[in-house]
């Protein structure tokens, strides 16, 4: 049994026994950390994302910023649902119970949601989305924020599900390698490249979407001028709603994230390591 495999098993086993209040507070922190990273990455890339000729470059710029969210989670310490899908490993080893795993998942997922939605509301209320000052396409940052949310709500169920698998496959590999890394620099590098890859590719992360979609919904509600800018850059505004946030995006993406992290990573390595 490899050292990293044992570390992951031990790490996820400990999470199953954490007190509820710790899971709630640390889960809210994860939602906040990913939201801060999401706000920063959108700011960095919004003008590039608005132009089809620079869209790929915009993805890369956003991807260079967003990994700071998972770096904060992993190094400062917090509870993130998508990483916790790997608790299927100690479950398969019979080190934890199904109830303990589902308890962790439910509490952390709800806390991630509260933290991310609260941050989305605060970012919109802060006026940050009105930057830079209005120009030819005034309120472009707010318009792109609305556009990102609308595009995510416009995915077909199977598309969101498959993009969720790809995403958390990479995220959990990042978590796996960061736990195995021996020093701080190694942990940062282990996280950076897989997260950069999933953002550049446009894969779907359920907890990140708990920021991106509510931010777009709140922006459209409180600043109607953002809607016109979003329409000008081709946003499918008819898809943007709270119902589609939960049913058309969050549900399939969450299911895909569970498969990507729990099956493609944790259970695959369990089969290789423990069933021979």
Q: Where residue 147 sits, what CATH number does that domain have? A: 1.20.1080.10
Q: How many domains does the chain have?
A: 1
> Helix, strand or coil for residue 233?
coil
DSSP 8-state code for residue 52:
G
Model confidence at 136: pLDDT above 60: no
Q: Over the chain, what is the mean pLDDT? A: 95
pLDDT tens, 207-266?
A: 999 999 999 999 999 999 999 999 999 999 999 999 999 999 999 999 999 999 999 999
Q: Single out the residue of 247, 260, 84 nearest to residue 152, CA to CA.
A: 247
Model confidence at 1: pLDDT above 70: no
What whole-number percentage of the chain has pLDDT above 90? 92
Residue with the two structure tokens 């589609």 = 244
What is the Cα–Cα distance from 68 to 51, expressed in whole angstroms? 25
Q: Which domain holds residue 74?
A: 3-274
């Amino acid at each position: 049994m490899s050292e990293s495999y044992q570390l992951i098993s031990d790490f996820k086993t400990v999470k199953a026994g954490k007190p509820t209040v710790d899971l709630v507070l640390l889960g809210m922190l994860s939602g906040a950390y990913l939201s801060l990273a999401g706000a920063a990455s959108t700011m960095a890339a919004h003008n590039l994302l608005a132009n089809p000729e620079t869209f790929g470059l915009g993805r890369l710029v956003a991807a260079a910023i967003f990994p700071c969210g998972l770096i904060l989670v992993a190094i400062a310490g917090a509870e993130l649902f998508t990483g916790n899908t790997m608790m299927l490993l100690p479950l398969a080893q019979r080190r934890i119970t199904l109830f303990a795993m589902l308890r962790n998942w439910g509490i952390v997922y709800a806390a991630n949601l509260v933290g991310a939605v609260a941050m989305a509301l605060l970012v919109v209320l802060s006026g940050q989305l009105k930057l830079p000052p209005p120009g030819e396409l005034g309120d472009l940052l707010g318009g792109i924020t609305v556009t990102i949310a609308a595009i995510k709500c416009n995915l077909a169920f199977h598309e969101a599900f498959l993009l969720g698998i790809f995403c958390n496959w990479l995220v959990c590999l990042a978590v796996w390698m960061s736990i195995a890394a021996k020093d701080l620099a190694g942990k940062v590098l282990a996280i950076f490249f897989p997260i950069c890859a999933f953002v550049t590719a446009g894969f779907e992360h359920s907890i990140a979407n708990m920021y991106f979609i509510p931010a777009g919904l709140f922006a459209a509600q409180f600043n109607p001028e953002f809607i016109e800018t979003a329409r000008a850059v081709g946003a499918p505004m008819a898809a943007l709603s709270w119902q589609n946030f939960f049913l058309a995006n969050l549900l399939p993406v969450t299911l895909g994230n569970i498969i990507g992290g729990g099956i493609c990573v944790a259970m695959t390595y369990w089969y290789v390591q423990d069933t021979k």
